[in-house]
Structure 1
Amino acid sequence: MLAVAVLAAGKGTRMKSDLPKVLQPLAGATLVERVLSSCQHLAPERRILIVGHQAAKVEQSLAKLAGLEFVLQQPQNGTGHAVQQLLNPLQGFGGDLLVLNGDVPLLRPETLEQLLGQHRSSGAAVTLLTARLEDPSGYGRVFANQNGAVSQIIEHRDCSDEQRLNNLTNAGIYCFNWQKLAEVLPHLTTDNDQGELYLTDSVALLQPAMHMEVADPDEINGINDRLQLSQCEAVFQERLKRHWMAEGVSFVDPASCTLSENCRLGRDVVIEPQCHLRGSTVVGDGCRIGPGTFLENASLGANVSVLYSVIREAVVGDNCAIGPYAQLRPGTKLETGCHIGNFVEIKNSQLGEGVKVNHLSYIGDADLGERVNVGAGTITANYDGVQKHRTVIGSGSKTGANSVLVAPITLGSNVTVGAGSTITKDVPSGALALGRSKQVIKTDWPEPS
């Protein structure tokens, strides 16, 4: 049996944020969500989050995760004190306890699987994750023999100058035999520089104690401030882009682009510089994205091109062209072969196959049939000051430049709207609709004096 405990009680003062540290975002998810995700494949019987600072906010942010238990640590008096809060919730539990930190979000699932496997095969009372760092400042030092047996862990501030030369560091990730740990937890003391209960002190009380050195030190990067958050973001982004490049995606300038973990990209996708993909965005085969494009929870079919545009919570069919400087807002759906051009905004609208909206137009709350051609400057006036109304345009219709369609209104199929018209009444199929004042010309008009 396995229980996982995530330490998430800290305030994160150095973040200088109203958010608890564990709720800071990293590549589209919070730090604590990333930690929980890293151990999900281990299928633990118990998942416990030890909370403290802004506990209610942390619990609320994770309410969607089923089976997650919360234990309050109040006050926060060190990592040992945090794990002491598990003595009652895990009373009678006979398995292993994996302890993770809510601000160490880069652990790979396979690393935790290896740690748990080594812990169980060795029969150790505790197995801790370690890393050798070029600059180990701030990290606790692990002292172990060649066989991996650990004698002690000393926090950086408590080390002598000689002990600080040791660059084998404690990652703060542990696998414990819970029953053995429960026996020694009450005996931890605050005899250290910070006057706190250190979980590391339990290692000296448990035998045998072993360690596993992680191959990639980036995995154990902790986050205490905005700089470290940005450094972890860079590592995570590099992982994501390496993965997708191995799957057949080309990044022209990877360093200038960002992704979310839930994005899905097809083969032969080309992502130009300064593009950012968020949420559960899906990009089909053969698409060309950017430069300068932002996609959030968007779904793009195959062979779509998007240039200098924003697409949020919209669905784009195959072979569409978007931009430059277009915005597709939530609720928009484009069928195959649509062309959306420069400075066009579309919101909560359905556009049929082959629709063209090429210039300077606003299409909101509208349903357009196939092959509709929307002239430059066309606006669907969907708001009457109280409610939104829909505009319906039948297949094959076209609007002239600077047309205004005042909703609610329906235009039939193959309707032509004259340039500069304001249309307020329904138009039958096959008709020409004009709604503009008569042109007046006065000759010999005098120059202003």
Structure 2
Amino acid sequence: MTDTTHCTTAIILAAGLGTRMKSSLPKALHRLGNQPMINHLITTARQVFDDVVVVTGPDMPELEQAVRPFRTATQTQRLGTAHAANAARDLFGDGDIAVLYADNPLITAETMERLLAARRQGASLALLGMRPAVPGRYGRIIEDHGKVVKIVEFKDASEDERGITLCNAGVMCAGAEDFRNWLEEVRNENAQGEYYLTDVVEMAAKAGSVVCVEAPEDELAGVNSRSELARAEATLQTRLRNAAMDAGVTLVAPDTVFFSTDTVLEADVTVEPNVFFGPGVTVHSGALIRAFSHLEGCTVGEGAMIGPYARLRPGTVCAAHTHVGNFVELKNVELGEGAKANHLTYLGDASVGRGTNVGAGTITCNYDGVFKHRTVIGERVFVGSDAILVAPVTIGDDALVAAGSVITDDVPAGDLALGRTRQTLKSGRGLQIKQSLKARKEQG
């Protein structure tokens, strides 16, 4: 367990149901970059704060599982943001705390650092603000001669107050003991009958000074609906694409490439248009990912060429200088150095040796309806087109599998395997059949 004495703590409020999402899934678990929103925030907060505590709602086992091993507190009734923060008061520790929101997942570590620095420079409380193009229903930050005096929620704001462009992002930072004291004083005398965390701003202003740290709208905008989730995804993808290009990756058409947050592309990787990177992908230097390919849970070696229209599924490792061509699907496959599967092929639960060529239309039959079985193909093997390899089966080094063969038994090294019926010729019969078909066509 984390020692909370004088450490900094991020308290993440995540009890919201996300009613506007029209979903049975807790709002904090909706995904950005193939990762739950809250995990983005936890990852960033851990770069700045010593500890993280997540406030969940009742009956949210999926959320509690997603945030492990971090500690959680439960808001048993949803009575407002101050009520939610108060649920975690025993986990504040003795240092500074920051209250964050799971539906603000894109706050950067730099902005969190600036918030913490503003607090440490002597402010009773530091908060984050923004100036959105459309202020909408955000709470307004009320200042007097450059000092923050209070925050007014949109529902309670006057017309003049609604005209203010500086909006509250919800995030604030103060000493743990001060926060505890302020939370005890918050009342629910407002239009919603809720306990607003924003009420502590006025208390902090009376006790000392409150400073506002401004950050860009796209970093602080909340996610409360599917359309806002899509906008946040667009912001995140722009960040990930820029980071990849800054690291030496060529994106031929950046706006068409979709990344997961854990995608790793080394320098000198080239990615053509319309490529999707699911979770768990690593691509090494010099590899080319061609257009319309889909990669997930896989590793691509140096100088490899994948696609176009290739699908790499979880467990696949393509070694250096391998080729995976159009309409080829690999699932849980080890493709040895220089091996090729260039056309219209499915390989599942297989090992393919160095320098092996797998012909067009080849299939490993890895599933018997109950169990999965593995196919082992050795080095320098040539597998002819339309071969069917019925697992479990092993093809030895330097073997040759004839096109159209169905292979059900192991093939020793260096052997030729023919698993097809013998060709039969019927003299003149082909011409007779054609003539018969033409006559039937003419007769209607």
Using structure 1 for the length normalisation, give the TM-score: 0.88
How far apart are the structure 2 equivalents of 1:155 and 1:187? 18
Alignment of 1:366-445 (within 5 A): 381-384=365-368, 387-443=371-427, 445=429
User: How far has the Cα of 1:268 moved from its partner?
Assistant: 2.1
Give 1:325's aligned amino acid: F
1:55 and 1:72 in contact (8 A); partners too: no
How far apart are the structure 2 equivalents of 1:264 and 1:293? 16
Q: 1:107 to 1:336 in 2, by over 3 A?
A: same
Q: 1:360 to 1:152 in 2, by over 3 A?
A: same
Query: In the alignment, does 2:14 pair up with 1:13?
Result: no
Q: 1:252 to 1:54 in 2, by over 3 A?
A: farther
Give 2:232's aligned amino acid: C
Alignment of 1:183-198 (within 5 A): 183-198=181-196
How far apart are the structure 2 equivalents of 1:340 and 1:427? 20
Give 1:348's aligned amino acid: D
Which residue matches 1:224? 224
Query: In the alignment, does 2:91 pair up with 1:86?
Result: no
Which residue matches 1:326? 328
Which residue matches 1:292? 292
Structure having the higher helix fraction is 2
How far apart are the structure 2 equivalents of 1:156 and 1:281? 43
2:355 and 2:379 in contact (8 A); partners too: no
- Which secondary structure does the structure 1 equivalent of 2:233 belong to? helix
Query: In the alignment, does 2:34 pair up with 1:28?
Result: yes
CA deviations on 1:352-385 (whole Å, 9 max, x unpaired) are 221112411113xxxxxxxxxxxxxxxxx44555
Give 1:322's aligned amino acid: V
2:337 and 2:353 in contact (8 A); partners too: yes
What runs of 5+ residues in structure 1 fail to find an aligned partner? Answer: 364-380
Give 2:330's aligned amino acid: L
1:20 and 1:54 in contact (8 A); partners too: no
Give 2:125's aligned amino acid: V
How far apart are the structure 2 equivalents of 1:387 and 1:181? 57
How far apart are the structure 2 equivalents of 1:427 and 1:185? 75
* 2:169 maps to which of 155, 159, 171: 171
Which residue matches 1:350? 351
Give 1:302's aligned amino acid: E
How far apart are the structure 2 equivalents of 1:403 and 1:133? 60
* 2:54 maps to which of 49, 54, 73: 49
How far apart are the structure 1 equivalents of 2:413 and 2:175? 77
Give 2:39's aligned amino acid: E
Q: 1:250 to 1:85 in 2, by over 3 A?
A: same
How far apart are the structure 2 equivalents of 1:95 and 1:423? 68
- Which secondary structure does the structure 1 equivalent of 2:292 belong to? coil
1:11 and 1:53 in contact (8 A); partners too: no
Which residue matches 2:160? 162
How far apart are the structure 1 equivalents of 2:391 and 2:213? 66
Query: In the alignment, does 2:111 pair up with 1:144?
Result: no
CA deviations on 1:75-125 (whole Å, 9 max, x unpaired) are 1011111122234444xx432121000110110011111111110112x22
What runs of 5+ residues in structure 2 fail to find an aligned partner? Answer: 1-5
User: How far has the Cα of 1:387 moved from its partner?
Assistant: 4.4
CA deviations on 1:393-438 (whole Å, 9 max, x unpaired) are 4444434444444444444444344444444444444444444434
Alignment of 1:261-300 (within 5 A): 261-300=261-300
Give 2:213's aligned amino acid: E
Out of 255-264 and 410-419, give the one that drifted further.
410-419
How far apart are the structure 2 equivalents of 1:387 and 1:160? 67
Q: 1:310 to 1:436 in 2, by over 3 A?
A: closer
Give 2:267's aligned amino acid: R
CA deviations on 1:249-307 (whole Å, 9 max, x unpaired) are 12121111111121111222221111111213111112221210111122111122222
Which residue matches 2:71? 69
Query: In the alignment, does 2:65 pair up with 1:97?
Result: no
Which residue matches 1:372? none
Q: 1:382 to 1:118 in 2, by over 3 A?
A: closer
1:20 and 1:53 in contact (8 A); partners too: no
Using structure 2 for the length normalisation, give the TM-score: 0.89
How far apart are the structure 2 equivalents of 1:260 and 1:408? 34
Alignment of 1:305-344 (within 5 A): 305-306=305-306, 307-313=308-314, 314-329=316-331, 331-344=332-345
Q: 1:405 to 1:209 in 2, by over 3 A?
A: same
- Which secondary structure does the structure 2 equivalent of 1:181 belong to? helix
Aligned residues: 423
Out of 275-284 and 228-237, give the one that drifted further.
275-284
Q: CA RMSD in A?
A: 2.2
Q: 1:399 to 1:145 in 2, by over 3 A?
A: same
Q: 1:155 to 1:347 in 2, by over 3 A?
A: same
- Which secondary structure does the structure 2 equivalent of 1:60 belong to? helix
Q: 1:62 to 1:214 in 2, by over 3 A?
A: same
